[in-house]
């Protein structure tokens, strides 16, 4: 399937594992240059290398940052000022019982 994504630049937040990583891989398969985002630099680098190996005609890039932190988000946006596609897949949820989640935590989940 050709989704006409060749030579586009996509920032996929939370893309070091799970759904975000799967989206990044499929977008790279379509010829999209992807920015892999996560909080752990080693994990980001690993996924960038995996995608580069799988799809050598694309140019995956590392965007290590915790985008819930304004200064890191600003640095990321300064590094990549023009992005064609944003996939907002940030994984900030932590395992906890539903009834233990206070209002401040819910607010954090929704404002990021």
Please determine, looking at this structure, whether the domain spanning 9-111 carries the CATH number 3.40.50.720. Answer: yes
Between CA 80 and CA 2 the distance in angstroms is: 25
| CA atoms 63, 35, 51, 15: torsion sign | positive
Helices (H), the chain: 18-29, 41-54, 70-79, 103-111
Per-residue model confidence (pLDDT) at position 92: 59
Average pLDDT over residues 37-59: 97
pLDDT digits (tens, 9 = 90+) for 62-74: 999 998 889 999 9
Spatial CB neighbours of 51, under 8 Å, sequence gap ≥ 6: 24, 25, 28, 34, 36, 58, 60
| pLDDT surpasses 70 at 78 | yes
**pLDDT value at position 111?**
63
What is the residue extent of each domain of the chain?
9-111
Average pLDDT, the chain: 90
């Amino acid at each position: 399937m050709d989704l006409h994504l060749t030579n586009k630049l996509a920032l996929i937040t939370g893309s070091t594992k799970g759904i975000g990583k799967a989206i990044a891989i499929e977008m790279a398969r379509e010829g999209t240059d992807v920015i892999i985002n996560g909080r752990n630099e080693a994990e980001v680098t690993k996924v960038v290398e995996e995608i580069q190996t799988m799809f050598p005609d694309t140019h995956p890039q590392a965007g290590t940052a915790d985008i819930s932190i304004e200064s890191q988000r600003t640095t990321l946006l300064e590094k990549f000022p023009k992005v064609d596609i944003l996939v907002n897949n940030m994984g900030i949820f932590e395992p906890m019982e539903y009834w233990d989640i206070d209002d401040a935590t819910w607010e954090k989940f929704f404002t990021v």
